[in-house]
Amino acid sequence: MPAENQESAESQFVWDKENIGHIAEHDVVPEEAEEVILGDPFDIGFEVVDGEERWSYIGETSAERILRVVITLRGERVRVVTAFEPEKYWKAFYLEQRAGLQ
């Protein structure tokens, strides 16, 4: 997400019992998913599921926890569909990409 959109995370994200509960099953809290999206995540995919466009990102939280976050858009707001610790392949990919940027 562009840096200019970081002023108010609360107004940028759509949270409800469904998506909060779903990411909680993966031991992720909303703030962590927001940190990944508002940081500088790598775009790792796009798909359409039941007519809904979804983007997949991998990034890290301020606590350096690497997460995969899948989002969709509701108007101009971001709705997190799911967030979880990525498979070993994606963790390695992220660390390699990040190291290459330093």
Residue-wise pLDDT tens digits, 5-46: 444 556 899 999 999 999 999 999 999 999 999 999 999 999
pLDDT at 100 over 70: yes
45 falls within a domain: yes
User: What is the pLDDT, as a whole number, of residue 83?
Assistant: 98
Domain of 25, in residue numbers:
8-101
Q: What is the CA radius of gyration of the chain?
A: 13
- What residues have CB less than 8 Å from 35, skipping those under 6 apart? 59, 60, 61, 62
* Residue given tokens 């610790």 in the structure block: 85
- C-alpha to C-alpha distance for 41 and 71, rounded to whole angstroms: 12
95 falls within a domain: yes
- C-alpha to C-alpha distance for 21 and 18, rounded to whole angstroms: 5
**DSSP label at 39?**
S
33 falls within a domain: yes
Percent of the chain scored above 90 by pLDDT?
82
2 falls within a domain: no
Q: pLDDT tens, 48-97?
A: 999 999 999 999 999 999 999 999 999 999 999 999 999 999 999 999 99
80 falls within a domain: yes
Percent of the chain scored above 70 by pLDDT?
89
87 falls within a domain: yes
User: What is the pLDDT, as a whole number, of residue 47?
Assistant: 96
Tell me how many domains the chain contains: 1
46 falls within a domain: yes
89 falls within a domain: yes
